[in-house]
Amino acid sequence: MRKNSHTNINSQYKIIAVDDEVGILDSLNVFLSKAGYSFVGVTDPMEAIEKVKNEHFDLMLLDFLMFPIHGDQVVEEIRKFNKDLYILLLTGHKDLAPPLETIKRLDIQGYCEKSDKFDQLLLLIESGIKAVSQMKLIKNINAELQATYEKLESAYMETIETLRFTVEAKDSYTRGHSDRVAEYSELIGKALGLSETDLKTLRIGGLFHDIGKIGIPDSILLKTTKLDDNEYSEIKNHPAIGAHIISNATIFKDIIPIVKHHHERYDGKGYPSKLQGEDIPYLARITAVADAFDAMSSKRSYRDSLPLEVVRQEIEKNAGTQFDPEIAKAFLHILDTEPEEIKRIQNL
**Domain residue limits, the chain:** 2-136, 153-346
φ and ψ of 88, to 5 deg: -115, 125
Rama region for 107: left / alpha / beta (φ>0; ψ in -120 to 50; rest) = left
Amino acid present at 323:
F
d(CA 208, CA 160): 8
> In Å, what is the CA distance from 336 to each residue of 36, 56, 345?
70, 54, 15
Is domain 153-346 in CATH 3.30.2420.10, yes or no?
Answer: no
Please say if 213 is a catalytic residue: yes
d(CA 290, CA 307): 16
Q: ∠ CA(230), CA(236), CA(242), 5° rounding?
A: 135
> Residue 93 has what pLDDT?
66
**Active-site annotation holder among 51, 94, 104, 213:** 213
3 state SS of 60: strand
d(CA 99, CA 133): 28
- Which of 217, 133, 120, 204 has the alpha carbon at shortest distance from 167? 217
> Residue 55 has what pLDDT?
95
Global pTM? 0.61
Peptide bond preceding 307: is omega within 30 degrees of 0, i.e. cis? no
Q: Which residues of 69-84 are buried (b: 16+ CB within 10 A; e: fewer)?
A: ebbbebbebbbeebee
pLDDT tens across the length of the chain (348 residues): 344 545 556 778 999 999 988 998 999 999 898 888 999 999 999 999 999 999 999 999 999 888 899 888 999 999 999 988 999 988 876 666 667 777 888 888 887 877 767 888 888 899 889 988 888 888 888 888 888 878 877 887 787 778 778 777 776 666 789 999 999 999 999 999 999 999 999 999 999 999 999 888 888 888 888 888 888 889 999 999 999 988 877 778 999 999 999 999 999 999 999 999 999 999 999 999 999 999 999 887 677 889 999 999 999 999 999 999 999 999 999 999 999 999 999 988
Peptide bond preceding 272: is omega within 30 degrees of 0, i.e. cis? yes
3 state SS of 348: coil
What is the CATH number that goes with domain 2-136?
3.40.50.2300
Strands annotated E in 187-278: none
> Residue 165 has what pLDDT?
82
Amino acid present at 295:
A
Contact 81, 53 (CB under 8 A): yes
Q: How many residues does the chain have?
A: 348
- Which of 244, 227, 230 has the alpha carbon at shortest distance from 163? 244
Residue ranges of alpha helices (H) inside 35-118 are 45-54, 71-78, 100-105
Supply the DSSP string of 263-309, one letter for each residue: T--TTS--SSS---GGGS-HHHHHHHHHHHHHHHHS-BTTBPPPPHH
